[in-house]
Amino acid sequence: MCNTISPFAAALRLYCYTSDVDRVEEIEAAIAQLPPDEFRRLAQWLHAREQSTWDSRIDADAASGKLDFLFDEAEDEAIKGTLREWPPTE
């Protein structure tokens, strides 16, 4: 059995045993030691997780009606003739 684990895995093990500040500092230190390929995998995973969280929040806000005002504003601007394309075309 291998007695070594990656710095990232070691930092994650601290999750249950340290304060939030200590935990984040430990994870940051472990990330700084990652080889480029592992860092790239971690960055991709974090990006995908961030996108998924964002999508879930937008879906929840849309379902709850929190974004309805945007449709109302766009409809008003369309009626007034002031609605602009996004992104702007040049």
- Nearest one of 25, 32, 24 to 6, comparing CA atoms: 32
Q: Pinpoint the alpha helices (H) of the chain.
A: 7-13, 20-32, 36-64, 68-80
DSSP state of 66: T
Task: Identify whether the C-beta of residue 46 lies closer than 8 Å to the C-beta of residue 38.
Answer: no
15-69: per-residue pLDDT in tens?
A: 656 566 688 888 999 999 999 999 999 999 999 999 999 999 999 999 999 999 9
3-14: per-residue pLDDT in tens?
A: 566 766 766 666
